[in-house]
A = this chain, B = another copy of it.
Amino acid sequence: MTQTISINDSGRLQLTPLEIPSRLLLGPGPSNAHPTVLQAMNTSPVGHLDPAFLALMDEIQSLLRYVWQTENPLTIAVSGTGTAAMEATIANAVEPGDIVLIGVAGYFGNRLVDMAGRYGADVRTITKPWGQVFNLDELKTALETHRPTILALVHAETSTGARQPLEGVADLCNEFGTLLLVDTVTSLGGVPLFLDAWGVDLAYSCSQKGLGCPPGASPFTMSARAVEKLQQRQSKVANWYLDMLLLGKYWGAERTYHHTAPINLYYALREALRLLSEEGLANSWQRHQKNVEYLWEGLENLGLSMHVEQEYRLPTLTTVRIPAGVDGKAIARQLLNEYNIEIGGGLGELAGKVWRVGLMGFNSRKESADQLLAALRQVLPK
């Protein structure tokens, strides 16, 4: 080993071991993970083709089918964050020229528009003010007008806290041979969701909200109908990392190497799903609903009002209107610095207008709401 170049030490920081403040994460995500989940993640990694790991992948697949209420064989966790899983649905479902109709009523609808365009889709949109949802008549008219290959809707809009009802949408899609693609990032685990009964063809989520697991390994599923479209593609999936024809062989019977999975995150995800399965899906949904109603009441008692109509309000994430004359950013900063509580600000149309408060997964507890309400009582102007 001869080497004549001398090493540049300018980036060689002399650091102490990691010290991170302990926060109560009540923003739009990530939320705190259950201690058992953190502990599982700490287990020493094994190989991505180790029989013990392959068995764990099977468990994850089965549990994901349970929490999503689907029988889709192609139900896996993508090795990236929720955004990667979102991109996976688009990358695999869209062929250049496909008409993709996207319901935009928030930031994540717009993200779908941007992504689908990058994959060559002929993107059409329908829009609503941020915080509202589409009704069946509006969707029907849009389907008739655009006759899309894919209709993409955000079930739980993380930027607005609105829940888009999905019952009956698939019946409309069937009339036009349209695949239904759904963002469940902020609903999975915390909000009733029946993918098969509702006829959803493609869905994605994340690990760090309703599932209560650190971010980085993200649920993805596609129906037999969507797989059929994938198999009949004229062009390769324009994304190697997220190509389900390749990933399906790693998660499926072949066990063909594709990439080195983020092993420890899968440990954590398995553990989070195990805890959710132990609690039971119906219990988890009810817990989220009960605790958020308690939060809403507490916020109203402080004189605050919610941005979304109660019927369409998410139990996982609440947008709270910032009262006139209050500096929303300063309040959030004070909560973080003085109380170690994180809440989120508004995005896009709602920037400066709302706070976003999440009660998700492990954090959907009365104690979390109480802690936030007590702190708000201190920091809000009287």
Q: Judge whether A336 and B15 touch: CB under 8 Å.
A: no
Q: Judge whether A13 and B45 touch: CB under 8 Å.
A: no
Does A173 lie at the interface of the complex (its beta carbon under 8 Å from any beta carbon of B)?
no
Does A80 lie at the interface of the complex (its beta carbon under 8 Å from any beta carbon of B)?
yes
Q: Judge whether B46 and A82 touch: CB under 8 Å.
A: no
Does A378 lie at the interface of the complex (its beta carbon under 8 Å from any beta carbon of B)?
no
- For the complex, give the distance between the alpha carbons of A7 and B285 in Å: 12
Q: Judge whether B38 and A39 touch: CB under 8 Å.
A: no
> C-beta contact mask, A100-133 vs B, less than 8 Å → 1, else 0?
0000000000010011011100000000000000
Q: In the complex, what's the smallest C-beta–C-beta distance from A37 to chain B, in angstroms?
A: 10
- Determine the chain B residues whose CB is within 8 A of the CB of A316 once the complex forms: none
**Of A22-30, A140-148, A317-325, the one touching chain B:** A22-30
Q: Judge whether A270 and B44 touch: CB under 8 Å.
A: no
Q: Judge whether B66 and A11 touch: CB under 8 Å.
A: yes
Total number of A residues with any Cβ neighbor in B under 8 Å: 103
- Determine the chain B residues whose CB is within 8 A of the CB of A303 once the complex forms: none
Identical copies in the complex: 2
Q: In chain B, what residue has the closest Cβ to A85?
A: B241
Q: Judge whether A262 and B214 touch: CB under 8 Å.
A: yes
Known: A9-B66, A80-B80, A81-B79. A240 touches B87 (CB 8 A): yes
Q: In the complex, what's the smallest C-beta–C-beta distance from A333 to chain B, in angstroms?
A: 9
Q: In chain B, what residue has the closest Cβ to A88?
A: B241
Q: Which of B42, B48, B63, B257 contacts A30 (CB 8 A)?
A: B48
* Interface of A toward B, CB cutoff 8 Å: 1, 3, 5, 7-15, 17-18, 20-23, 25, 27, 29-30, 32-33, 36, 38-48, 50-53, 56, 59, 62-66, 69, 71, 79-84, 87, 111, 114-115, 117-119, 192, 194, 196-197, 206, 208, 214-217, 236-241, 257-265, 267-268, 270-271, 274, 277-278, 280-282, 285-286, 289, 336, 342, 347
Pairs A-B, 3 closest by C-beta atoms:
A216-B262, A11-B66, A83-B259
- Can you list 18 A-B pairs, Cβ within 8 angstroms, ordered by A? A7-B69, A17-B36, A17-B271, A29-B260, A30-B263, A32-B44, A32-B45, A33-B45, A38-B42, A41-B42, A42-B42, A81-B262, A83-B241, A83-B258, A83-B260, A118-B240, A216-B262, A257-B347
